[in-house]
Amino acid sequence: MRTRSIVLLAGLLAGTPALAQVQPGNPNAANESLARQGEMRSLQQGQTSQSNATRMEIQRNELTRPAPSAAPAIVVPKR
């Protein structure tokens, strides 16, 4: 039972993204991998924030846009 849980735990740890990118023999590989992941997460967060700000600006402009004015009424003189 204990061996089974150890094998299961080892399988779960091997599947995590940080450990999957680690190069054996490089003692700094785990730190470098985590740093790369942090940089990618930061870039994604920045892009998401920028996209959300642009979307909000578009929505705000749509809400403040004046309604189209009605065409002038055509008055036909009586004969």
Predicted confidence at residue 58, as pLDDT, reads 94
Predicted confidence at residue 7, as pLDDT, reads 56
Predicted confidence at residue 9, as pLDDT, reads 55
Residue count of the chain, please give it.
Answer: 79
Q: Give the C-alpha separation, 60 to 79, whole Å.
A: 50
DSSP, collapsed to helix, strand or coil, labels residue 23 as coil
Q: Are 66 and 60 in contact (CB under 8 A)?
A: no
Q: Are 62 and 55 in contact (CB under 8 A)?
A: no
Predicted confidence at residue 72, as pLDDT, reads 73
For the chain, the domains span 2-59
Instruction: For 9-63, write each residue's pLDDT tens digit.
Output: 566 555 555 545 566 788 888 899 999 999 999 999 999 999 999 999 999 998 8
Q: What is the pTM of this model?
A: 0.48
Q: Give the C-alpha separation, 37 to 17, whole Å.
A: 9
Q: Give the C-alpha separation, 74 to 69, whole Å.
A: 15
Whether the pLDDT of residue 4 is over 70: the answer is: no
